[in-house]
Amino acid sequence: MTHHRGSTVWDVRTTAERYAVKVGRPVPESDDHPGQDWTGVAPAREAVILQLLESFAVYGTWPYGTWNAQPWHEGPSLYELWEPQRSGGSPPPPDAAHACADALTVLHEAGWVHGDIHPGHLIIGPAGTATLIGLTLAHGGTVPDAVDFPYPGSLVPYESPEIARSILETGTAAPTTASDVYALGASFFFSATGRRHVEYSDDAPRAIQRKAAATTPYRPVTVPGLFGKLIEAMLSPVPGDRPTSAEVRSVLACQC
């Protein structure tokens, strides 16, 4: 069982299958957090999106929000997979990065944007393929009003500058394929180095974190070789200057 702000995820095993069961609830206001209601609806929204993508998911309600059940995806996250390289100071092998770029390209080509890419949502399976989990904030199809809500942004270290600025100015944003590529580049950087690409205090309020993401130049990309150059391009502050997910996949395919 894992806890996140506004949700709990259970690893449920039956004699035949293994499921991830997510239970959502609103987050109350606190001294350092404004509170949010969308987390209570989030599991239902994710289940609807999985169904639109023709993946198995069921959902329902409980007194404080909604829940969903979906297949469990076996394997480490990208961050967990690359831990030996971080400890040893060697560059990560490109095969897992290629698998992540391939999964994102497939999603984009289906007309969807993920909207919440970070290392914990990049699962590398036993066969070496990647699965993008955490599709709660994805955009691309028609979601019923009863389970929909404005895009609230994602984890700040993986928000592109244009997303962070829009959240600060309007309270919401429109995730794009370019912002997904930025988030994937930030995930590569963090998984390879163990450091955020944007520097701010760990205890900084969320608004200060977002301001840093929107305005502060990122740390130099220290990942060596062509992979480092690719990450640098993915982290461009200008959306149009970033490669597409398909271009990222193509570059990484040449390195495998």
84-97 per-position pLDDT tens digit = 988 887 778 899 99
φ, ψ (nearest 5 deg) of residue 19: -125, 150
**pLDDT above 60 (res 222):** yes
Q: Give span(s): CATH 1.10.510.10, the chain.
A: 74-253
Is the distance from CB of 82 to CB of 192 less than 8 angstroms? yes
**pLDDT above 60 (res 52):** yes
Distances (CA, A) of 155 to 53, 74, 131: 23, 23, 19
Q: What's the pLDDT score for residue 229?
A: 96
Measured at the CA of 233, the angle between CA 231 and CA 237, to 5 degrees, comes to 110
Is the distance from CB of 180 to CB of 104 less than 8 angstroms? yes
Q: What's the pLDDT score for residue 145?
A: 97
**pLDDT above 60 (res 1):** no
CATH superfamily ID and name for 74-253: Transferase(Phosphotransferase) domain 1 (1.10.510.10)
- Nearest alpha carbon to residue 136 among 9, 38, 65, 58: 38
Question: In this predicted structure, which of 17-31, 91-105, 134-148, 229-243 has the lowest mean pLDDT?
Answer: 17-31
pLDDT in tens, 53-89: 999 999 999 999 999 999 999 999 999 999 998 888 7
pTM: 0.95
Is the distance from CB of 94 to CB of 81 less than 8 angstroms? no
